[in-house]
Structures are given as C-alpha cells and as structure tokens.
Structure 1
Amino acid sequence: MIQCQQIRKNYGELEVLKGIDLSIGKGEVVSIVGASGAGKTTLLQILGTLDKPTSGYAAIDGTDLNTLTGKELSRFRNNKVGFVFQFHQLLPEFSALENAMLPALIKGDSKQEAEAKARELLAFLSLNHRLEHKPSELSGGEKQRVAVARALINQPAVVFADEPSGNLDSHSQEELQKLFFDLREAFQQTFVIVTHDYHLARMCDRMIEMKDGVVYNT
C-alpha cells in the first residue's frame, strides 16, 4: 500500500530525513515512534501528500506521489488519504454531522449522499445521539471520534494519525486505541500512527522506530 525509497528532506542546511526506506502493506496498523525531532511528523506529512521530499520515491496504492501536482494532488488526497490530528481540527461553527460531511462535499457528493455516509459512520462510532452538537458541546473523546468519521468518509486507502491520543484522558485514549483496530476490521483501511504513546504503539501490527531522521526498526 505504501512504498518509500530513499526519502530525504532538507530545510536549508538541515537534513531532517536521511534516506527512508519503508514498506507498509494493505490493512496494516503501523505505529511510528521516536523522540521529538526524529522526523516522524515530517515523514507523515510527506506520505500524506502535505509536503514533498527533497529527493526519493514515495507511492500510495501504486501512485507515485512525485508525479502529482496541483488539482491532481488535491484530488488524490481527498480520495485516498484521511487524517486524524492531535487537536482534531474541527470547524467550531459546524455540527458534528456537518464536520464529518465536509470531505464528501468537497469530493463532489450531493448533500444527501454526504449526510447519509456521515450518519452511518457517526452511528458506527456511537455518536448518533450527538449529530447536531457543535465541537464546544462535545468531550475530547467525542471530538476525536468526529475527526475519525471525517477521515473515513471518502473511504481512503490510508488513514494517517498524528499523535491522535495526545490530547485525551486515559479512558478516551483506550477507547481510541481500540477504535483503530475495530475500524481496520470493519473497513480494511491501512493506518499509520505517529505517537509518543508506547502502549498504543505496541498494540499495532508493527512498530517503526525513528532516530535522527533514520528508520531503525521496520
């Protein structure tokens, strides 16, 4: 599902990624761990098409990311990639249902189609009683589950999660950890999770360790 060959990333004179080789299979739940500054988030942003490598090859589901530009890249990201961030990034003026619908509307689904998909996902995530609530009215765990629904609505090939449990209490962390594996069983997506939470990391099918811009264990 994901292939990387000699991915390097420089910011001026600073080399953040130093030749990453990586392969992640379809349906895997993989964690990426390492100290702050190891290059985890930079790698996640490149794989998620939010940034480009200085050199090297990265592909998702057989598509070379380096060949995509402009609208092609935006379309690929919307169709193939889902994101879950530490601080959920929900729009405060929209309800849970409206937040979850957004990627489907951007993709071009009708409002009726987008709403039906969002309702189904939010029900799966046990949020069918919170559809009309705005983010300020939701708990931390509920906000994160809305963010997960938003990430899944276009049935992406890969879901990238950047410190998804970092802003949650211990109970919500455990719920989110279980949720990723329930989602894999239900929807067969590939999950790549950057985390400092070694409990979550060790639950994954595979734990990838990074240090100083290099992968030490795949």
Structure 2
Amino acid sequence: MITARGIKKQFGDLQVLKGIDLDIRQGEVVSIVGPSGAGKTTLLQILGTLDKPNAGEVSVNNIAIQQLSEKELSRFRNANIGFVFQFHQLLPEFNAVENIILPALIAGKNKAKSEEKARSLLAFLNLHDRETHKPAELSGGEKQRVAIARALINDPAVVFADEPTGSLDSQNQEELHKLFFKLRDEFKQTFVIVTHDLHLAHRSDREIKMKDGYIE
C-alpha cells in the first residue's frame, strides 16, 4: 500500500529524517508516535505527497511518487489521499456540505452527486442536522467530523491525520478514536495518524515509534 525507502529530509543544516524505511499495508490503522522534533509530521507530509524528501523513494498504491509531474501529483493526491489536520482547516464562509465537496469539485465531479454523497457522509457521522451550519456554528468535535467527511469525499485509498485529536476534549477524543476504526471497517481505507495521544496510538493496529529522525 505505502512503501518508503531511504527517506532523508533536511532543512538547511538540520537533518530531520535520517533514513526511513517503512511499509504500511492496506486497511491498517497505523499511529506514528514519538517526542516533539522526532520528525513525525515531516514524515507524514512526505508520505502524503505534500513534501518531497532530499533522498529516498515513496510509492503509494504501487505508484512511484517521485516520477510524477507536479500536475500528475496534484491529480493523484486529490484522487487517492485524504487529509485531516489538528485545526480542521475548514473554510469559514462555507457550510458543512460546501466544505466537504471542495475536493470533489476540484476533481471535476458532478456537484449535485457530490452534495448527495456529502450528506450521506454527514449522516454516517451523525451530523445530518448540521448540513447548512458554518464552522463557527459547530463544536470542535463536529468540525473535526466535517473535516473527516471532506477527507473521504473522493474515496481515497489512504487518509493521513496529523494530531487529529489534539484540539479536542477527552469525550470527543474517545469518539474520534472509535470513528477511525468504524471508518476503516466501513470504507476499507488505510489510516496513518501522527499523534501524541498514546491512548489512540495503543488502540491502533500498529505503532511506529520515532526518535531523532529514525524509526526505533
């Protein structure tokens, strides 16, 4: 599903990743854990095609990422990868459905069908009564579930999540933990999650522990 070999990344004189080899299987829920500065988010961004390594190779669904042009990479990312961030990244002027369908519209999909699918995802996430609510009218947990629906709208093969529970209270954290596994079982996606939340990490299928730019 995801293969990384010899991944190195540096920013100026600071070497953040020092040679990462990694395999993630389809349908796994994998957590990447470690202290601040270990390189977790940098690795997630490279695996998710948001950044490029200085050395090494990444393939997702048997596609060699480094061989794609920028335009091909954008299309591949939109069709195959979903992202969930700590602070939701929802557009404040759009309601829940409008935020969710943005990746589908970028992919050139039919707007009416995309809105129908967005409503279906909201219903699955117990947000059927929040379709027309804008982010300012949603709780933190509701915003994060809208962000997850947006990540799922194009049926991605893999969802990358960067500290998805970091801004949530304990009750919403627990609900989100359960939701990741429910989504995996329902939609068969792979989830790769960077987290300091050890409760979430321990519940994952596998923990990947990082320290000082290496996998321990």
Alignment TM class, shorter chain as reference: over 0.9
C-alpha separation between the residues in 2 aligned to 1:37 and 1:66? 25
The one-letter code matched in structure 1 to 2:43 is: L
Runs of 4+ in 1 over 2 A off after TM superposition: none
Query: What does the per-residue CA deviation read over 1:135-184, in whole Å, with 9 as the maximum and x for residues that have no partner?
Result: 00000000000000000000001000000000001000000000000000
Q: How does 1:170-185 map to 2 (within 5 A)?
A: 170-185=170-185
Q: How does 1:4-23 map to 2 (within 5 A)?
A: 4-23=4-23
Identity within the alignment, %: 68
C-alpha separation between the residues in 1 aligned to 2:30 and 2:77? 20
Correspondence 1:38 to 2:31: no
Query: Offset of 1:113 from its aligned partner?
Result: 1.4
The one-letter code matched in structure 2 to 1:199 is: H
C-alpha separation between the residues in 1 aligned to 2:139 and 2:15? 39
Correspondence 1:123 to 2:123: yes
Unaligned regions of 5+ residues in structure 1, if any? none
**Considering only aligned residues, what root-mean-square deviation do their CA atoms show, in Å?**
0.5
Query: Offset of 1:13 from its aligned partner?
Result: 1.5
**Structure 2 match to 1:215:** 215
Query: Offset of 1:210 from its aligned partner?
Result: 0.1
Paired residue secondary structure (2:149): helix
Query: Offset of 1:12 from its aligned partner?
Result: 1.6
The one-letter code matched in structure 2 to 1:168 is: L
The one-letter code matched in structure 2 to 1:203 is: R
C-alpha separation between the residues in 1 aligned to 2:63 and 2:91? 31
The one-letter code matched in structure 2 to 1:83 is: F
TM-score, structure 1 normalization:
0.98
Query: Offset of 1:198 from its aligned partner?
Result: 0.3
Query: What does the per-residue CA deviation read over 1:102-153, in whole Å, with 9 as the maximum and x for residues that have no partner?
Result: 1111111111111011111111001110000000000000000000000000
Query: What does the per-residue CA deviation read over 1:10-69, in whole Å, with 9 as the maximum and x for residues that have no partner?
Result: 112211000000000000000000011000000000011110000001110000110112
TM-score, structure 2 normalization:
0.99
C-alpha separation between the residues in 2 aligned to 1:38 and 1:144? 25
Deviates more, 1:135-144 or 1:10-19: 10-19
C-alpha separation between the residues in 2 aligned to 1:47 and 1:151? 16
Paired residue secondary structure (1:15): strand
**Structure 2 match to 1:103:** 103
Query: Offset of 1:208 from its aligned partner?
Result: 0.4
C-alpha separation between the residues in 2 aligned to 1:57 and 1:66? 7
Unaligned regions of 5+ residues in structure 2, if any? none
**Structure 2 match to 1:203:** 203
**Structure 2 match to 1:52:** 52
C-alpha separation between the residues in 2 aligned to 1:111 and 1:10? 41
The one-letter code matched in structure 2 to 1:104 is: A
C-alpha separation between the residues in 1 aligned to 2:42 and 2:69? 19
